[in-house]
Amino acid sequence: MLPAVLLQSFGEGGDEGDANYVSPFDATVVEKLKTIGMVNLGKLNCDEFAMGSANENSAFGAVKNPWDTQAVPGGSSGGSAAAVAARLAPAATATDTGGSIRQPASFCGVTGIKPTYGRVSRFGMIAYASSLAQGGVIAQTAQDCALLLGEIAGFDPRDSTSMDRPVDDYMAGLDNPLAGLRIGLPKEYFSEGLAAEVEQPIREALKVFEKLGATLVDISLKNTDLCIPAYYVIAPAEASSNLSRYDGVRYGYRAEHYTDIQDMYRKSRSQGFGDEVQRRILVGTYVLSHGYYDAYYIQAQRVRRLIANDYKDAFRQCDIIMGPVAPTVAWNLGAQVDDPVANYLGDIFTISTNLAGLPGMSIPCGFGQGGHAKRPVGLQLTGSWFSEAKLLNAAHRFQQVTDWHLKTPENR
Ligand code: GLN
C-alpha cells in the first residue's frame, strides 16, 4: 500500500516568473487526497498548458528520463512519470488530453491510468482542451492506481463535465481471473509505423495474457489515420478559446512595457506564451474563423464521431483493446524540438481514446532492444466507457506474474 506522500501536477504551464506560484485554493482531487491523509510533496514539471509529448515545451525546460538521462521523459506529464520512476514519490497526479498520462508512463516504465471522460473532477485543473482532458494517476502498480482512482473519482457539482454516476470499487475486482477475457488487437496499430523494438515486448506481453486465460481477437479501428488530423484541429480550437482569457488584464502574465491596450495584449500574449502554445492558438483561431469553420472544425467533429463508432463496433468483439502506447521508445532530448509534426505523429495510438472519451492505461512490459536497452516500453489497455475496473483487473493480474513494474533505473 501507499505511504502517505504524493506529488501533484496539473496540466498547467507557467512562465518563469510564476515558479513559486501557490494556488489560492485546492483542486477537488487535491482536496480528496488530503482528506484521506496523503501528503502533497510539491509541484511537478509539465509541458506548458499540457501541450507536448516530451516535456520540452515547459518554460522550465524538460525533466530527464531517469532510465536514460539522454532521453525525454515523455509528455506532457513527464514530471509526474519521472518522479515515480525515480522513486521520489509512490504516486503522482497527472492529466491526459491526448496521451499525457499514458505516454510518459510508457517512456518512464511506470503505470498510468487515464479514466473515462467525466470520471474525475477537473475543478481546479486547467484544461488544455475541455472536451478531451481528464485527470488521473501515475503510480508504480495497477493496485496503487486502483486505490488512488477510487479516492479521486466521483461526481463534483463544481465541474459541469463530471458524471453523476456511482464509482466502482476498483480494489474489489483486482484479483478476478482473466479466463474468457477477449483482447482486441487493432490491425492498424501493428503496422509498419511501429518500431520492431516496441512490437517485440508488446507481443511477449500478449502471450502472458493468453497464459492467464485471455484470447486474442483481431479487430480494426479503421479511422486510425484520421485521429491525428482530427485531434490537431479540435484540441487547438478549444485551446485557443480557453487561452483567450490570458489577456494580461484579468489573468496571467502582463508585459511590463507597452504603449496602449492593443500593444499590451500583443506583448503580454507573445511574451507570456511559449512557441508551441502560440502555434496552437494560431491553428485554433484559424480553424474556428469564418469561412474555415465548416471545412476544418465541423469536419473534425464528424471524424471524431466516426472514431467513437469504431470503438463501439470493436467493443462488440472484445472486452479490452491492447497495443503499443507509442510507435517508438523515448527519443533523445532535443531530437524533435524543431519538428512539431514529428511530435504530433507520435500521438497516433493515444489520442483516439480521448476523442472517444474512453479510459486507458499504460503498463510497463519491457525495454527497447539493441541500442535502447535502457528505454522502457509500455503496453496500452483501452476499455469501453467506465470500464476502469476491468482495465485495472487485467493490469494487476499481469503485474502479479511479471516484474517489469518492480524494476527501477538503479535495479533491473
Ligand atoms: N502529446 C499530446 C499533445 O501534445 C497530448 C497532450 C496531453 O495529453 N496533454 O497535444
pLDDT in tens, 272-321: 999 999 999 999 999 999 999 999 999 999 999 999 999 999 999 999 99
Q: 476502469: which residue's cell? A: 388
pLDDT at residue 351 tops 50:
yes
* Closest listed residue to residue 52, CA positions, set 270, 223, 274, 241: 274
Q: Is the pLDDT of residue 13 over 60?
A: no
Average pLDDT for residues 15-27, to the nearest whole number? Answer: 76
Q: Average pLDDT in the 221-246 region?
A: 97
CA of 262 to the centre of ligand 1 (A): 31
User: What's the gap in Å between 97 CA and the centre of ligand 1?
Assistant: 6
Please report the pLDDT score of residue 192 as a whole number: 87
Share above pLDDT 90 across residues of the chain, in percent, rounded to a whole number? 90
* pLDDT tens string 260-282: 999 999 999 999 999 999 999 99
Which pTM value belongs to this model?
0.95
Residue with cell 510539491: 42
Supply 105's cell numbers: 508512463
Task: Give which of 285, 306, 274, 273 is closest to 233, Cα–Cα.
Answer: 285
Residue from 44, 58, 97 to probe ligand 1 pocket by mutation (most atoms less than 8 Å from CB) = 97
pLDDT tens per residue across span 174-209? 999 999 999 999 999 999 899 999 999 999 999 999
Residues lining ligand 1, Cβ inside 6 A: 11, 50-53, 76, 96-100, 128, 235, 347
**What is the per-residue pLDDT for 251?**
78
| DSSP H or E segment with residue 78 | helix 78-85
128 C-alpha vs ligand 1 centroid, how far in Å? 9
- Of 276, 290, 282, the closest CA to residue 244 belongs to 282
Check pLDDT > 50 for residue 4: no
- Give the single-character DSSP code of 13: -
Of 403, 369, 377, nearest in space to 74 by CA? 377
CA of 343 to the centre of ligand 1 (A): 9
Q: Is it the case that residue 40 has pLDDT exceeding 50? A: yes
With contact defined as beta carbons under 8 Å apart, do 76 and 277 qualify?
no
User: To test the ligand 1 pocket, which listed residue (12, 53, 103) has its Cβ within 8 A of the most ligand atoms?
Assistant: 53
Residues 67/329, Cβ–Cβ less than 8 Å: no
Beta carbons within 10 angstroms of residue 257's beta carbon = 7
Q: Is the pLDDT of residue 67 over 90?
A: yes
The best mutation among 128, 275, 352 to test binding of ligand 1, ranked by most ligand atoms within 8 Å of the C-beta, falls on 128
Alpha carbon distance 228, 345 (integer Å): 7
Distance (angstroms) between ligand 1 centre and the Cα of 167 equals 27
Residue-level pLDDT at 375: 97
**Nearest atom in ligand 1 to 354's CA:** 8
CA-proximal residue: ligand 1, atom 10 (nearest):
51
The average confidence (pLDDT) of the chain is: 94
